[in-house]
Amino acid sequence: MTSFSTTPKANSQDNTEELRTSRTCRNSYCRLGVLPLEYFSNNSVFVCCRYVMERRWFEQWKEFVENGDQNSSSFPGQIDNSELFEDLDSYHLKERLVENEDFVLVPAEAWHKLLAWYGIVDGQPPLERKVVDLPSTLKVEVYPVEIFLCLHSNMENVITAQFSRADTIREFGFSVPPGSECRLWMKSSDSSCERLRNVHMSVLDACLSSGMTVIMETRNADGTWPSSRPQIMNSVEDQDSYRGQPGVCGLTNLGNTCFMNSALQCLSNTPPLTEYFLRSSYLEELNFTNPLGMKGEIAEAYADVIKQMWSGRHYSVVPRVFKTKVGHFASQFLGYQQHDSQELLSFLLDGLHEDLNRVKNKEYIELRDAEGRPDQEVAEEAWRNHRRRNDSVIVDTFHGLFKSTLVCPECHKVSVTFDPFCYLSVPLPVSKERVMEVFFVSLDPYAKPVQHRVVVPKAGKVSDLCSALSEMTNVPPSQMVVADVFNHRFYKIYNADESLSCILDRDDIFVYELSVQKEEQEEHVLLALYLRERSHYRDYGSGSSSYGTSLFGHPLLLSVPRSSCSHEELYNLFLQRLARYVRPPDPSEELEEEEEEEDEDEEELYKTQTNGISDGILLSLIMEYKQEEACSPSPPANEQPAKRRACRKRRKTLFTIQAVNSNGTTERGSFNTNCSTFLSAAQPYVAIDWDPEMKKRFYNENEAEKYMKHSSMEVPQQQTTVQLQECIELFTTVETLEEENPWYCPVCKKHQLATKKLDLWSLPEVLIIHLKRFSYTKFTREKLDSIVEFPLRYAHSRLSFLPQEEPPSRYDLIAVSNHYGGLRDGHYTSYARNKDNGQWYYFDDSKVTYASEDQIVTNAAYVLFYHRQDKLRKPTLPSPITSPASSTEPASDITSCNDDDAELGATSYLTMETD
């Protein structure tokens, strides 16, 4: 283990210049996670790399460099990435870590500097990651691809290996016998296999993802291949003989590609678009010269996927080529990170339109304002102009017209324009309140923590949380301190004026009651208290502690008078605060320990145990020993030896007190000797260290973990429900333009914050409605889980937002893209109605099950697809089932809907309307 002795110290003459340099470079190092890659002299994939660091440690280091010194509580201690690992045995990274939330990326130069200064926790590996040169961008590989390698002749001997996406397949390291002919197969999680024909392809281009298996087979002496026998490759042969319902086909998840699969299933079940590709009409309309297009490659790749899905010959299709094409033309979809199905859908519709645009040479068209002309005339002119530059199957199927009305607040000039749209992104009504769950820790040491559920303003402050909790506890808000507790330590202690938006729903929030400060009393100190358990051995080689320690239990916040911060007074105070789960020793219990050596052997002992190396922590322990001895009365000279031997026994305390940094990992010295220094810090932290035997005898872990639930926790949280019509009306509400996007008034001759109103003028054959569940404001980031009651059939009364003189259109729902989960992670699925038999199906990557109409309306609905009824054709095949429960002989590629699938749905919230 690298000790802290290599850290630059402010009081060290040799390291003063180095520390000054680190402070000078502070402005650069504090932006390590966002430095441009051009910062390096060599951007080669194999030379340029970065290191992954836990964000909490990195933030503490920045605070230390900005304001701290060697004795400050912000001293970060050794580099510690423990929170990034699933376990500390394999050091395997947790899934779905988010940059700048969980970790930061630092250049190699900075990493080696920090490593030399602070060291790294013993046993933890440096997390070095390559910077990969991807098409049109450079990205850091936080998660290398983990692939299983095996031989066809020995399938049980599987080797797990990690590769960069820039590595080629030939670098997998298979040993090929001389003169042998070999070939490679890749096997996905759904057991489908594909041939890897080009060993010079990169892992990225081959779309290999973690969890896949690469199998090498060698040709037999008789000239045959082992895979020709019915073994592991039979999944390919089985699909050749499979016959099922066209369109009822899963899509293999290539690695976090459920967002893509969900969007593809919805488009696949859009009849006019699918029939256009199945008839191969696209071949005559491919536009290879459109500078805004993708040379027809996106259209061709999409056509291949659709034809496979509707061939009726596949359980599941592997959209590998399509994924590669999408990543090539849209770098944001490169790699295997989770993305948004609506964003993929938007890119795909635009890409298909440009690849299939029948207009080869787009003419310049000057747009005109309405200038008082009738809306009908202006709308027809706008649509003609749009079609003169944009004419494709996408426009035919998905494009409609907005009516946009702008009014100048100064001269009241009215500007009316008509703009095309491909889909509607409608907002959900956002509540101005927020429900938070917090634990209240009373000042009464015998009271268990109480979990409360409080309602606070969404854009409120921490003081609002205290006020809401005060009404339930009758404790004044001024006597409360709010803290985020994570992994037995304080992740953050909040100020009363901080915004509640910085507190996430997943955070463990504790609110501590503090003692009353009377006017006549002197200033109080807010003391943060950690509990630590010592190992049985002393670690004299470590600079972090004289003992190996680990945090446990819940930390505490205490308000202590500055005059009452002596070692003895704090010891008694801590015993009192822990009285509920710490048993004081009985008078009959002997708690004595022997001193290690006599006074004259002190120096020799110190040298022996430290190899003569100076150590501030050991020195403080010796000073403490001297002070204790000095407090004892000196015996007469003739009784000195006997008395000295008697003094070698002393009363043993339950725990010792140490001043520590804010992480509780690094000691700042003995609290006895440095009391005034540590109490002068903005936020002092102390730890009480327990010997394992003492903790076992006097600390009740079961009692310490107990808590109570307030009656507010028993009140069920009501699920917010809104109507789709409300979302559309909110979308068409008058709004004032933001300062960042003003409108230039042609009359006032200046930019104005005009009012704007959108109306739906004409609707397309297929109407796509995107529910904006992900809310991003100045104060909050959240996913809205409200249930949107959307009808499966739009009747006259359901669609009243068109101009009065136009008859309302009537639509049927044909597909839904679902999103389950939160902001940081989640899973996409889809419901879709097969155009041939009218049956609803539930698509979950490669798995397909029957679905019923009462399952479709859920709080996971994200993108809705409606088909205009006058364009619908009746199913050509009878529905195979009437309900999931009645399915007795389902098709071989799907199973009837089970209880798990039913939980994904919800009871329908509307009465079905028949035509």
As annotated, the active-site residues are 258, 827
Look up tokens 């250049």; give the residue.
107
Element (H, E) at 148: strand 145-151
Query: Residue holding tokens 């002997």?
Result: 590
Residue whose pair of structure tokens reads 């003895």 in the numeric block: 568
Q: How far apart are CA 667 and CA 685, in angstroms?
A: 10
CB 55 within 8 A of CB 492: no
Burial class (CB in 10 A: 0-12, 13-18, 19+), 119: buried
What's the burial of 465, exposed, middle or buried (CB within 10 Å: 0-12/13-18/19+)? buried
CA distance 525 to 506: 30
One DSSP character per residue, 133-147 reads: EETTEEEE-SS-EEE
363 three-class SS: coil
Q: Could you tell me which of 749, 761, 758, 737 has the C-alpha nearest to residue 413?
A: 749
Report residue 330 as tokens: 């849209």
CB-based burial, 5-33: b 16+ in 10 Å, e otherwise: eebbbeeeeebeebbeebeeeeeebeebb
DSSP assignment of 699-763, as one string? B-HHHHT--EE-GGGTSPPPPPEEEHHHHHHHHTS-EEPPTTS-EEETTTTEEE--EEEEEEEE-
369 has which bridge partners?
A: none
The C-alpha angle with vertex 268 and arms to 262 and 273, in degrees rounded to 5, equals: 135
Q: How far apart are CA 905 and CA 289, in angstroms?
A: 46
| Residue 850 host element (H or E) | strand 847-850
What SS3 class is residue 394?
A: helix
Is 808 within 8 Å of 330 (Cβ atoms)?
Answer: no
- DSSP-based three-state secondary structure for 582: strand
- Give a three-class secondary structure readout of 64-120: HHHHCCCCCCCCCCCECCHHHECCCCCCCECCCCCECCCEEEEEHHHHHHHHHHHCE
Count of other CB atoms within 10 angstroms of residue 87: 9
Q: How far, in Å, are 214, 352, 506, 526 from residue 466 at the CA level?
A: 57, 54, 19, 17
| Residue located via tokens 């190996």 | 548
Please name the residue that has the structure tokens 């070698």: 648
In single-letter form, the type of residue at position 680 comes to S
E strand segments, 508-565: 509-513, 524-538, 547-561
- Give DSSP secondary structure letters for 664-684: S-SEEEETTTSHHHHHTSSS-
Among 151, 254, 169, residue whose Cα is nearest residue 210? 254
Contact 464, 533 (CB under 8 A): no
CB atoms closer than 10 angstroms to residue 176: 10
16 Cβ neighbours under 8 A, 6+ residues apart: 8, 10
Token pair for 149: 């390698």
